[in-house]
Structure 1
Amino acid sequence: MINSYGAKAKVDPKDAKLSMAHFFVAFGALALGGLMGLLQTLVRSGKFELPLGIGYYQVLTAHGVLMGLVLTTFFIMGFQYAAVSRTAGTHSNAARTTGWVGFWLMTAGTLMSGTMILLNEASVLYTFYAPLQAHWIFYLGLTLVVVGSWVDGAAQIMTYAKWRRNNPGKPSPLLSFMAVINTVMWIVATIGVAATVLFQLLPWSLGLVDRVDVLVSRTLFWYFGHPLVYFWLLPAYMCWYAIIPKIIGGKIFSDSLARLSFILFLLFSIPVGFHHQLTEPGIDPAWKFFQVILTFMVVIPSLMTAFSLFATFERYGRGKGAKGLLGWFKVLPWNDARFIVPFIGMASFIPAGAGGIINASNQMDQVVHNTIWVTGHFHLTAATSVVLTFFGISYWLVPHLTGRKLTKAMNKLGIIQAWVWFIGMAFMSGAMHIQGLLGGPRRSAFSTYGDSQQALDWIPYQIAQAVGGTILFLGIILVVIIFINLAFFAPKGEEEFPVGEAENLDEKAPMVFENWKLWLGILTALILFAYTIPFIDIIQNAPPGSKGFKTW
């Protein structure tokens, strides 16, 4: 079945199989990573000790890697692969084979790294900073995950390129364009983490070199680490921009505005890693200041997104006869999990974005840097705005891919799950923010705090985090139940893959948005300008180096 845009109304079953393979790994990581998160909050409450000699930093690393890297990367690749198939047409056999190769490389790397973490041979947190050292198999596994994601992304680019060849002079389907923007950003960003792993950490862990330059490795990591956040966010934006309007029965406010915002995210999300290193010596303050400015440029596409979304909601509401300033708010489909779950994620991004402004500000960052405030912010952005939107996507995408229906029971359970998640995160993230303002450190177990009065003052907030973590784990159980039901047990049927149409179909997106030579050229220039001279300074003025340690 073909819609008015020439796109297939249903993802091809062969493509659906590959997307579902990604989702099986993603939701498996969610279940195990969620359990690790629960154990962390219980330990920090001071009321629980890990059994069987399991270390706190062991479960902390497992939680970060499984939730921050495995869950997100596999879900995003599975979602984008399906979105490109739905809007740009069925993947060719070559693209599908490429996708499977990427999937198995990522899966093999995940199993390698995960095994080392569970064996306590890689308790180095998800940032794996030197001089902490992990087993070489952990680093090799990470390399395979990164390379596999490049191959996986190449399959999407191949299908997009085929569509462009077959439709010269026409703007590509919006969802496919967005997916390719995110894939390109991911490939460019992961060059940094691939470089530090391949040329520093892997040879070091194999004993081929005695020392690594810690500042170089941290700089390469944060060249990747900040765009990693936008790699998580942009698929949620894809849903907000192009899918939610269809779900509510409205129209996309502006196709061109959506494309422009994604291009701006591509340009301003990568050359800004120094704002994560504001307290580190060895980097000229002028370059830190420059990258802070570039960081704040991301506020522009973020505000564009907020304007576009609420314009869509208001226009839909007015069309339903809503009156007054906020009358449109009442007529939104609050009983539809496909809408309300991502909407809670959208609303959560308002305080999350405010916290991000604080983290990126040189003066205010001094107050919260390396405190558990940062962890609370992280859980508002990635673990609420992003993850709740991913859950909302899965509630219609999984049955679409498996040929089943989202039943009323699962729809209701999805809404319950979203509110359970919101309540749990309000407890946990709220307590983390407050404890951070009181000086509570991040990455630390309760036993490391000592018996000072300040540590005693933190206890109520740590208990609140444990309460929130427990509620969140209940939310994870509900998500897993819904996923299994929609994948295997829901009644057979046709579930829509909703793709919105622009409000003004006569308004064609300018073809300059498809000029990849232009945008990649500007991106390259920004990266070279932001990093070349600072990197030369870091290498020329480097101290002798840091010897590694086998464990924390």
Structure 2
Amino acid sequence: MLGSSKKTKAKVDRRDAKLSMAHFYASFIALALGGLAGLLQVLVRSGKFELPFGIGYYQVLTVHGVLLALIMTTYFIFGFQISAVSRTAGTLSNGARKAGWIGFFVLTIGTLLAATMILLNEASVLFTFYAPLQAHPIFYIGLTLVIVGTWIEGSALIASYVKWRKANPGKVSPLLTFMAIINTAMWFVATIGVATTVLVQILPWSLGLVDTIDVLISRTLFWYFGHPLVYFWLLPAYMAWYVIVPKVIGGKLFSDSLARMSFILFLLFSIPVGFHHQLTEPGIDPAWKFLQVILTFLVVIPSLMTAFSLFGTFETVGRAKGAKGLLGWFKKLPWGDARFTVPFIGMVAFIPAGAGGMVNASFQMNQVVHNTVWVTGHFHLTLATSVVLTFFGISYWLIPHLTGRKLTKKMNKLAIIQGIVWAVGMTFMSGGMHFAGLLGAPRRSSFSTYGDAPQALEWIPYQIAQAVGGTILFIGIILVLIIFINLAFFAPKGEEEFPVAEAPEKAEATPLVFENWKLWLGITALLILFAYTIPLIDMIQNAPPGAKGFKLF
């Protein structure tokens, strides 16, 4: 077992492991298909490749966005959170496990319905499915089932948490379990927006029950969901950074209380900020946009808390191993352990990703990059690098833990190579996107749609860089799939640790106020009402002629 000389006794229950593995199988299938679509997409954007068999560019773009940004991540996150709760709060009850399986199958049915419509070119509406783009009703029904499935699974996690609290009155819950519940609660609150616009507006419109819908309300409800979706992806990576990585490198938690507070701040400030995705849209008072920009920048606080905690842990561990000087601790980190190195690359990528996010959220600088491929480059640094590389790092120990196998030296070395390949590929692709975006290259467009633009020649070198980077990234996906298949089916039998860092012996007790859900959910509700009530009333009262808003008939 890499990174540890002891065999762990703490294992995820075999029945819970099967449930988690079902999610990981689906997640990596989505990664393979979505990654192939992404390769085709960047090749088309380079202007040097045409799609065969009459496949449309926006069809490929929709496959790539939906499978990777929504399906792959959702399956992975719930698979990870199920195993984390089982590992730290105890084996799931039979009822919770049954609910988990029901949720998984509902989620899978929804995925298959939506994917079928995309493949039939009946739903080439992109990941955001903005109206007035319209898909087949089955696509929206599929998305609805995806959300419902996650609600069922999330309820199973919450039931396990409640069971632990009842069995341990007056005690602070295990940190990983607490983090999983925070992320689940945020998901529940956020998905209310997308569920509302799909069920009340878009699905009746797609079925022909109404002729028009209010596009502004639809987009507002989508981004009420769309921005916390980013943190739904990010917080599981933070779970690994806060709790898993310190154990892997031989350290302890930097601060249990700081970790819980940062997660609570993400819950509070991640949802009432959707307007910063709509800064150029008419119909929203600039004062409300500016308010949500301020709330958006507040999320920087827990991000900086996380960076402080992580690098504080790294330095503490390094100096305990004899490091000297200002940066001597850096050399003492276990660079030969993929469980650390691969997530660390993701951590480093989050530095420029966060800086780019501040540009996107700015009331002024957003005007320069809005709706350019810069935004896509930022998206690929955050989700497709920081988050995805951390997910890969998690899988390199979690998959063998769940399947009763070992992370061998050969697979560990290949995993480090995969992380480096991914970093190189993303440097080309995301870098090309950022530079092209600064020159005004549009997002969501193929070469055929902008090739005649006067400035298109300036974009070509950066579009080629994206194609080179995308090709390298696809090689990285192939390496990941090889490692996953090996760890799931062919690696030697054995025990692989599920690393969970402990608090230092002399650490202060964590305050019970962090478990006060009435307080934190109440503040979250107040912030949402404050940020959205008046703007939504204004949108409904001043809807353009023919827009139906929330009216079905």
TM-score bin, normalised by smaller chain: over 0.9
Q: Give the aligned residue type for 2:57.
A: Y
Q: Report Cα offsets for 1:466-501 as digits up to 9, x if no partner.
A: 000000000000000000000000000000000001
Q: Distance in 2 between matches of 1:542 and 1:451?
A: 37
Q: Distance in 1 between matches of 2:482 and 2:203?
A: 39
1:396: which partner in 2? 397
Q: Distance in 1 between matches of 2:453 and 2:470?
A: 25
Instruction: Spell out the pairing of 1:414-429 with structure 2 (5 A cutoff).
Output: 414-429=415-430
Instruction: Spell out the pairing of 1:4-153 with structure 2 (5 A cutoff).
Output: 9-153=10-154
Q: Give the aligned residue type for 1:116.
A: M
2:534: which partner in 1? 533
Other structure's SS at 1:488 match: helix
1:324: which partner in 2? 325
2:223: which partner in 1? 222
Instruction: Spell out the pairing of 1:15-414 with structure 2 (5 A cutoff).
Output: 15-414=16-415
Alignment check: 8 A CA contact 1:95 1:158 kept:
yes
Other structure's SS at 1:212 match: coil
C-alpha displacement of 1:506: 4.4
Other structure's SS at 2:173 match: coil
Confirm or deny that 1:461 pairs with 2:462: yes
C-alpha displacement of 1:451: 2.7
Q: Distance in 2 between matches of 1:222 and 1:545?
A: 23
Q: Distance in 2 between matches of 1:74 and 1:545?
A: 39
Q: Report Cα offsets for 1:301-328 as digits up to 9, x if no partner.
A: 0000000000000000110010111000
Other structure's SS at 2:356 match: helix
Structure-2 change in CA distance of 1:504 and 1:277 (3 Å): farther
C-alpha displacement of 1:457: 1.3
C-alpha displacement of 1:502: 1.2
2:3: which partner in 1? none
Other structure's SS at 1:322 match: coil
C-alpha displacement of 1:125: 0.2
% identity of equivalent residues:
79
Other structure's SS at 1:363 match: coil
Alignment check: 8 A CA contact 1:171 1:508 kept:
no
1:3: which partner in 2? none
C-alpha displacement of 1:546: 6.2
Alignment check: 8 A CA contact 1:102 1:152 kept:
yes
Q: Give the aligned residue type for 1:235.
A: P
Structure-2 change in CA distance of 1:307 and 1:98 (3 Å): same
Q: Give the aligned residue type for 1:69.
A: L
Alignment check: 8 A CA contact 1:26 1:70 kept:
yes
C-alpha displacement of 1:508: 1.6
1:507: which partner in 2? 508
Other structure's SS at 1:120 match: coil
Unaligned stretches of 5+ residues in structure 2: 1-7, 549-553
C-alpha displacement of 1:456: 1.2
Confirm or deny that 1:478 pairs with 2:472: no
Q: Distance in 1 between matches of 2:382 and 2:314?
A: 22
C-alpha displacement of 1:503: 2.0
C-alpha displacement of 1:505: 5.0
Q: Report Cα offsets for 1:323-377 as digits up to 9, x if no partner.
A: 1110000000000000000000000000000000000001000000000000000
Q: Distance in 2 between matches of 1:148 and 1:540?
A: 34
C-alpha displacement of 1:504: 4.1
2:494: which partner in 1? 493
Alignment check: 8 A CA contact 1:8 1:87 kept:
no
The RMSD of aligned alpha carbons is 1.0
C-alpha displacement of 1:545: 4.2
Alignment check: 8 A CA contact 1:131 1:546 kept:
no
Q: Give the aligned residue type for 2:245.
A: I
Q: Distance in 2 between matches of 1:133 and 1:241?
A: 42
1:451: which partner in 2? 452
Figure out how many residues of one structure are paired with residues of the other and give that number: 541
Q: Distance in 1 between matches of 2:37 and 2:358?
A: 29
Other structure's SS at 1:367 match: helix
Alignment check: 8 A CA contact 1:254 1:504 kept:
no
Q: Report Cα offsets for 1:523-543 as digits up to 9, x if no partner.
A: 000000000000000110111
Q: Distance in 2 between matches of 1:272 and 1:451?
A: 37
Confirm or deny that 1:438 pairs with 2:434: no
Q: Distance in 1 between matches of 2:437 and 2:508?
A: 48
Q: Distance in 1 between matches of 2:150 and 2:203?
A: 19
Other structure's SS at 2:364 match: helix
Q: Distance in 1 between matches of 2:147 and 2:88?
A: 26
**TM-score normalised to structure 2 length:** 0.97
Structure-2 change in CA distance of 1:436 and 1:145 (3 Å): same
Alignment check: 8 A CA contact 1:8 1:89 kept:
no
Other structure's SS at 1:382 match: helix
Structure-2 change in CA distance of 1:545 and 1:482 (3 Å): farther
